[in-house]
C-alpha cells in the first residue's frame, strides 16, 4: 500500500448556492449536535424554517433539489481513509430519504474526512 502526502485540493466543480450552503451547514450542525452515528431524522418543518419557505409541494421540490446539489459527488485523489488509500475516490455528502414528516439523513464519514483533510474550498468547518 502506497501512502501519499495529503494535498489540499479544490474539490467542488462549482460553488454551492447560498441556499444549499445554508442547508448543508444546518444538516451538519444538527448531525454534530446529535452526536450519533448513523441516520438522523430532521423534521421537514425545520427545513422550511431554515430556508424561510412555506409548507408546499413546490418547497419540497426545492429542498429535494438542494439535497441533490449538496450531494454532487466530489473526486478526491490519493484519498486515505481508515488506512486504505484509493487513487481516485468519489464521495457524496449524505444518503437521504424523504418520509412523511421527516427527512432521514446519514452523513458520510468519508465526506467529512475529505472536507477536513483534503478540501481547499472547505465550507463546513
Would residue 10 count as lying in a domain?
no
Q: C-alpha angle with apex 114: 68 to 102, nearest 5 degrees?
A: 35
Would residue 73 count as lying in a domain?
yes
Would residue 9 count as lying in a domain?
no
Would residue 106 count as lying in a domain?
yes
Within a 10 A sphere around the Cβ of 94, how many other Cβ atoms?
Answer: 20
How many domains are there within the chain? 1
pLDDT in tens, 63-101: 999 999 999 888 888 889 998 889 989 999 999 999 999
- CATH number of the domain enclosing 55: 1.10.10
Would residue 53 count as lying in a domain?
yes
CB 47 within 8 A of CB 23: yes
Would residue 96 count as lying in a domain?
yes
What pLDDT shows up at residue 74?
Answer: 85
Domain that holds residue 39: 18-117
pTM: 0.83
Would residue 32 count as lying in a domain?
yes
Amino acid at each position: 500500500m502506497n501512502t501519499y502526502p495529503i494535498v489540499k485540493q479544490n474539490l467542488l466543480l462549482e460553488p454551492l448556492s447560498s441556499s444549499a450552503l445554508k442547508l448543508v451547514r444546518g444538516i451538519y450542525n444538527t448531525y454534530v449536535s446529535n452526536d450519533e452515528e448513523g441516520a438522523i431524522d430532521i423534521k421537514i418543518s425545520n427545513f422550511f424554517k431554515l430556508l424561510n419557505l412555506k409548507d408546499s409541494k413546490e418547497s419540497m421540490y426545492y429542498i429535494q433539489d438542494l439535497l441533490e446539489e449538496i450531494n454532487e459527488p466530489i473526486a478526491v485523489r490519493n484519498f486515505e481513509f481508515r488506512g486504505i488509500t484509493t487513487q481516485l475516490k468519489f464521495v457524496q455528502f449524505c444518503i437521504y430519504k424523504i418520509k412523511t414528516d421527516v427527512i432521514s439523513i446519514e452523513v458520510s464519514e468519508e465526506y467529512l474526512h475529505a472536507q477536513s483533510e483534503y478540501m481547499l474550498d472547505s465550507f463546513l468547518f
